[in-house]
């Protein structure tokens, strides 16, 4: 029950716990007088950031989000609460603390999901341009005169132009949400035109043009609030590239409102003659030459497209390639006597390069086989595979060695031959008409199945490379065009005797 309660708290607010109600008591808290043999360690991490409160509290709509991470050690079992104190230093100093009690005792060092225990508290108001010292320590504390572990961080709140602080009531009154969209251009050597959008907070503004010094200024009074307005500012120097500063005078902030800036650029030229007649005469002279060239280019392009289409058609019909079909998964099982490097690897490369197949080999998944066991591994791979191929060959070479693909070591280092096990596991499918299409037999020399594996004769057999094209096409067929009834009876007789 304690774990469910603790998890519910963590989900609701990142593990935030409710602060203890403030109570004025004479002297220190009684728990400070209790001696503890063991006490919890310090915090692992402590972070602070301003956030917008979902419930505005007059001018305290911006609050601190203080989050902390508990250290994952055995002392967490002794932890009952965390105390957080905030000291603010600006024009005046403030100090306040909060104690966050945990609803249940911790029984594990980490959360059930595996992450560290993380909590947060939102409640301390944030003032503008203020330096805060935030300290936190776990409870119960160390004994009197003992070394009490704690963690602290510094946080300096930004001004009204910050993307979070601009929503503070004082900032809004100073014009933090006002976007004047200032544009300024140099009309001539003596005049700069300034355009901006007025604010609903007031109707008086002052426009300054500054280079190294102020070279121009003008008062603006606009009764229509929230509209676009324009003012011409006389200047006494070079104004292109200068800074235009717009100072508002709102009734909510007086002379201490947020000032906005822009850059003076050259005004676009208007009324300039467009040399249309000259361009028309030049174009009319080139038209007789452009038309034949355009006709020739169109013919060449059409011929090229036709040749490319024919080439693709011939290419598609020359070999029944499987590149246009979605890839299929193939599980390949083979007897231990087959040379892995010269036979199995060659066949695997053929499947990947010519039949667009994703091949599953026991040689490549030794770790999974060791973890799952051969029976479970074969069952899982059979379900995942689209086709199961029994690879047979009389090409037994005593001198074969080397590696291929992802395999390492000699070709005969397999700790277990999975072929007999796979045969017995899959034999029941060979008796089913609905599953028989999933199995194929491939051999490189002559088809020579042992007496123990005669049931494989019911499966389609392919001799590579003689039947390569037919084999690739067969891989992508959902249903087999063979006499399934006879194969079913033969397999039933063989599998029943195993």
Cα angle: 221, vertex 222, 224; to 5 degrees: 165
Q: Is the pLDDT confidence value at 263 over 90?
A: yes
Q: Hey, what are 74's tokens?
A: 């055995």
Those residues whose C-beta lies under 8 Å from the C-beta of residue 82, and which sit 6 or more positions away, are 17, 43, 68, 99, 100, 102, 119, 136, 137, 138, 139
Cis check for the bond before 140: say yes or no (omega within 30 of 0): yes
**Average pLDDT of the chain, as a whole number:** 77
Q: How confident is the model at residue 244 (pLDDT cuts 50, 70, 90)?
A: very high
The residues near 51 (Cβ < 8 Å, ≥ 6 apart) are 62, 63, 64, 65, 122, 164
- Give the chain's end-to-end CA distance (angstroms, integer): 55
pLDDT confidence tier of residue 146, bands split at 50, 70 and 90: low
Task: Please report the pLDDT score of residue 476 as a whole number.
Answer: 67
Q: What percent of the chain has pLDDT over 90?
A: 22
DSSP 466: T
274 vs 353: which has the higher pLDDT? 353
Higher pLDDT, 173 or 223: 173
498 or 276, higher pLDDT: 276
DSSP designation for 161: T
Mean pLDDT, residues 334-347 = 80
What's the whole-number mean pLDDT along residues 331-344? 81
Under 8 Å CB-to-CB from 153, ≥6 apart: which residues? 46, 47, 48, 134
| 361-396 confidence digits (pLDDT tens) | 888 888 888 888 888 888 898 888 888 888 886 555
| 155-169, 210-224, 225-239, 428-442: least confidently modelled range | 428-442
Q: What is the pLDDT of residue 119?
A: 94
What pLDDT score does 60 carry? 55
pLDDT exceeds cutoff 50 at 249: yes
Q: Each residue of 397-456: pLDDT tens digit?
A: 544 544 454 444 444 444 567 888 888 888 877 777 777 788 888 887 665 556 567 777
Whether pLDDT at 345 is above 80: yes
Report residue 432 as tokens: 């089913």
Residue 148 burial class via C-beta count within 10 angstroms: exposed 0-12, middle 13-18, buried 19 and up? middle
Q: How far apart are CA 493 and CA 42, in angstroms?
A: 74
pLDDT score for 195: 94
Minimum mean pLDDT range among 93-102, 175-184, 293-302, 484-493: 484-493
Residues 6+ apart with CB under 8 A from 19: 98, 99, 100, 101, 121, 123
User: C-alpha 127: how far from its chain's center?
Assistant: 35
Q: Tell me what the mean pLDDT of segment 311-319 comes to.
A: 57
Could you tell me what percent of the chain has a pLDDT over 70?
A: 73
pLDDT mean over 211-215? 89
Residue 48's pLDDT band (cuts 50, 70, 90): very high
pLDDT number for residue 478: 44
Structure tokens at 272: 């300039």
């Amino acid at each position: 029950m304690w774990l469910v309660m603790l998890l519910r708290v963590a989900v609701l607010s990142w593990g935030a716990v409710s602060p203890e109600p403030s109570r004025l008591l004479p002297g220190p808290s009684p728990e400070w007088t209790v001696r503890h043999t063991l006490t919890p360690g310090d915090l692992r991490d402590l972070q602070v950031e301003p956030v917008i409160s979902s419930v505005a509290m007059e001018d305290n709509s911006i609050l601190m989000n203080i989050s902390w991470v508990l250290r994952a050690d055995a002392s967490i079992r002794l932890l009952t609460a965390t105390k957080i104190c905030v000291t603010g230093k600006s024009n005046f100093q403030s100090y306040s603390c909060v104690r966050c009690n945990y609803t249940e005792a911790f029984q594990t060092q980490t959360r059930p999901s595996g992450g560290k225990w993380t909590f947060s508290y939102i409640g301390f108001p944030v003032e503008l341009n203020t330096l805060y010292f935030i300290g936190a320590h776990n409870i119960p504390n160390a004994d009197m005169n003992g070394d009490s572990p704690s963690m602290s961080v510094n946080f300096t709140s930004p001004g009204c132009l910050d993307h979070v602080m601009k929503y503070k009531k004082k900032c809004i009154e100073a014009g933090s949400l006002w976007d004047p969209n200032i544009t300024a251009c140099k009309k001539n050597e003596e005049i700069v035109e300034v355009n901006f959008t007025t604010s609903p907070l007031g109707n008086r503004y002052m426009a300054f043009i500054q280079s190294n010094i102020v070279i121009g200024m003008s008062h603006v009074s606009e009764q229509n609030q929230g509209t676009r307005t324009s003012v011409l500012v006389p200047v006494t120097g070079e104004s292109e590239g200068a800074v235009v500063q717009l100072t508002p005078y709102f009734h909510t902030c007086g002379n201490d409102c947020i000032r906005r800036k822009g850059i003076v650029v050259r005004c676009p030229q208007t009324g300039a003659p467009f040399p249309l007649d000259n361009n028309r005469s030049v174009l009319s002279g080139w038209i007789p030459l452009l038309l034949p060239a355009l006709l020739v280019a169109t013919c060449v392009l059409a011929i090229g497209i036709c040749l490319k289409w024919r080439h693709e058609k011939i290419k598609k019909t020359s070999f029944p390639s499987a590149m246009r079909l979605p890839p299929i998964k193939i599980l390949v099982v083979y007897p231990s006597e087959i040379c892995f490097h010269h036979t199995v690897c060659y066949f695997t490369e053929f499947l990947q390069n010519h039949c667009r197949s994703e091949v599953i080999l026991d040689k490549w998944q030794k770790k999974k086989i060791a973890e799952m066991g051969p029976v479970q591994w074969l069952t899982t791979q059979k379900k995942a595979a689209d086709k199961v191929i029994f690879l047979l060959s009389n090409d037994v070479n005593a001198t074969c060695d080397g590696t291929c693909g992802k395999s390492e070591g000699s070709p005969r280092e397999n700790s277990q031959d999975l072929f007999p096990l796979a045969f017995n596991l899959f034999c029941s499918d060979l008796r089913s008409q609905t599953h028989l299409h999933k199995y194929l037999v491939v051999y490189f020399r002559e088809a020579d199945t042992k007496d123990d594996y005669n049931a494989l004769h019911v499966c389609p057999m392919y001799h590579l490379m003689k039947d390569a094209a037919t084999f690739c096409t067969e891989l992508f067929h959902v249903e087999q065009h063979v006499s399934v009834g006879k194969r079913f009876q033969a397999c039933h007789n063989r599998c029943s005797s195993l």
